[in-house]
A and B are shown apart, each in its own frame.
Chain A
Amino acid sequence: MTVLRDGTRVAGAPVAGLDRRQLIRWMVGRDVSEEFPPRAPKPGDIALEVSHLSAPPRFHDVSFSVRAGEIVGLAGLVGAGRSSAGLALAGALKAEGVAAIGGSSARFDSPADALKHGVAYLTEDRKGRGILPLMSAAANVTLANLDAYRAGGLLNTARERAAAATAAKDFIVKAASLDQPASTLSGGNQQKLLLARFLLTKPRVVILDEPTRGVDVGARADIYQLMNRLTDEGLAVIMISSDLTELLGMSDRVIVMRDGRVTGELPRGAATPEKVMALATGEAAA
């Protein structure tokens, strides 16, 4: 097996007798813990409260809440309605019901509206609905926040540029240059680009839909660290993931959906893969 990193050959070794840790060390260039970083959640006030949210036929009567500083995982099989619920909360899908953010009503008819009120949604379809492939990494980062760099109608490109550079550093985006098109970055760096883009708008709630799909181990660890940092700063996170290990490793609470309905809620300690799968499939735990 040959290992490439940042465009150069780092190592080569026969597969037989190759240690997994060693392989990851070569790929990432440092030791990466495959365990999830420890969480010390300090849940604050309720950031987002969802009551009886419905968008038939995708999901029905979904109710839950997320507190500031908390990571709530949405578990379920593909097609259970988790992404649709996420899209509805972010104003990208019409739904009936009530959502309240920080106590006041949060019914958004567009993502623009949702962002203005502090709800951001990071798509699961990074390539199709996330990055702007032709735009520079810098422009991708500032896209949702351009109004902040406006001076009398015009864009202050120096200020925009500085903000992009700071955000890229904050969110550990690795790019040879921020001028390179976003399409040339790795999946992990594209994901961090999206994180930076939406977090620049200073949301109170962020919905991460499959945040580590197609992301290599190194960037994955970075994203988990970022999630911890962001919740420490008081952000409320809703994480949708089909990777059960990740969901259980990072969530403070897990909400399980099946066929468009919430079938259960488990606190961190009680959420075992067996219990979650039982709620997700509707079959009794073995």
Chain B
Amino acid sequence: MKIRRALSEYAIFIALAVEFIVLAIAAPAFFTPDNFANVLRQNAFPAIIAAGMTFAILTGGIDLSVGSVVGLSGVLTADALVHGYSLPLAIVIGIATGVLIGLVNGLVVTAIRVPPFIVTLAMMLVVRGAAFKYTDARTISGLPPGIAPLSQGWSMAVIMAVVFVAAWVLLMRTPFGRHVYATGGNREAAWLSGIRVNRVLVKVYVLCGLSAGIAGVLVASRLNAGYPRAGELYELDAVAAVVVGGTSLFGGRGSIWGTLAGAFFIGILNNGLNLFNVSPYDQMIAKGAVLLAAAALDRWRQ
């Protein structure tokens, strides 16, 4: 029983370590600074979004709108810059877009008690549609050079680290974090224990929006453009990272470090398969298999 618990709790870290060692031995191109920087750059977006998603899944919910939020937030950030707004203001606009959409998600989930899956699925369509409408389906280019450094070099790693440390503090060192676990573990019991469950849920979806907004700004920086299609399928990458990271889809169990490891497990898997020239189609199949294995593990430890 104890072994089973420990094993399932640390499964993702063990898997990540094994993956790392195998690739380091088998693929000479893997263990190079250039490749590490590459892996970090590619996976910081999904990891940041997954940090927010962890909160939603811990409450037993989900946020499918985050990919679209990345698109709209990136578009609005780029548009603000093109129209001559300052960089800080443009960043605030991008992040506020995410926060606002998260707030609407949270209010709808709690006020009309529609399952988060449906609410955020609807929001995914609405927000993506808004991004296309706003840009007329065109790419906003010609951004001033100031935004590019955000997603270069170490800044992306630093931003990701800040996001994860903040998420850890919120989850493990505040009453709010405990309330998140309690809401997912047994919502009725949490409510009867004086936890204002609805407020917790609203905050959780705001956090999802916040992390997606941050990712949106970074994506705009990376692309050096506002691209209305940006972030498509990111919601699924984020969910995959959280689940592979050991957080239970049933709510109430999981960890933020598991999510970080989950995101990089998937990212390094992609990277390794690339290094071995595995076709993108086979990569998708491999990713799907990993996700299924993680979900099965979650079931097994119930």
Contact = CB atoms under 8 A, between A and B. Distances in A.
Interface size class of A (residues with CB under 8 A): 20 to 34
B169 A154 contact: yes
Contact of B178 (A116, A155, A197, A198): A155
Contact of B192 (A92, A133, A139, A154): A92
Contacts of B192: 90, 92, 111, 121, 123, 129-130
A157 B173 contact: yes
Interface string B176-192: 01110110011011111
Nearest first, the 3 closest Cβ-Cβ pairs linking A and B are A146-B175, A115-B194, A112-B194
Interface of A: 90, 92, 110-112, 114-116, 121, 123, 128-135, 139, 143-144, 146-147, 150, 153-155, 157, 197-198, 201
A4 to B, nearest CB: 17
B188 A129 contact: yes
A112 B185 contact: no
Contacts, number: 76
Contacts of B178: 139, 143, 146, 155
Contacts of B81: none
Interface centre among A110, A116, A147 (most CB of B within 10 A): A110
Contacts of A112: 194-196
Given A143-B178, A154-B169, A154-B173, A134 B252 contact: yes
Nearest to A121: B192
Interface residues of B, number: 22
28 contacts: A110-B191, A110-B194, A111-B191, A112-B196, A115-B194, A128-B188, A128-B189, A129-B186, A130-B189, A130-B192, A132-B186, A133-B186, A134-B253, A135-B181, A135-B182, A135-B252, A139-B178, A139-B181, A143-B178, A144-B195, A146-B175, A154-B173, A155-B173, A155-B174, A155-B175, A155-B178, A197-B193, A198-B193
A83 to B, nearest CB: 12
Contacts of B174: 153-155
A104 B193 CA distance: 23
A182 to B, nearest CB: 10
Contacts of B196: 110, 112
Nearest to B195: A112
Contact of B185 (A116, A129, A135, A197): A135
Nearest to B178: A146
A133 B194 CA distance: 17
A135 to B, nearest CB: 6
Contacts of B188: 128-129
A84 B185 CA distance: 24
Given A143-B178, A147-B175, A132 B190 contact: yes
Contacts of B190: 132, 143
B242 to A, nearest CB: 17
A144 B179 CA distance: 10
B185 A134 contact: yes
A155 B170 CA distance: 10
A155 B177 CA distance: 10
Nearest to B192: A111
Contacts of B173: 154-155, 157
B234 to A, nearest CB: 29
Given A135-B181, A146-B178, 4 more contacts: A92-B192, A110-B191, A130-B192, A154-B169
Interface in B150-179: 169, 173-175, 177-179
Nearest to A149: B175
Contact of A143 (B169, B177, B182, B253): B182
B1 to A, nearest CB: 9
A74 B62 CA distance: 42
B67 to A, nearest CB: 29
A129 B193 CA distance: 9
Given A134-B252, A154-B169, A111 B181 contact: no
Contacts of A131: 186, 189
Contact of A132 (B169, B175, B182): B182
Q: Which of B178, B185, B191 has the most A CB atoms < 10 Å from its CB?
A: B185
A144 B193 contact: yes
A110 to B, nearest CB: 7
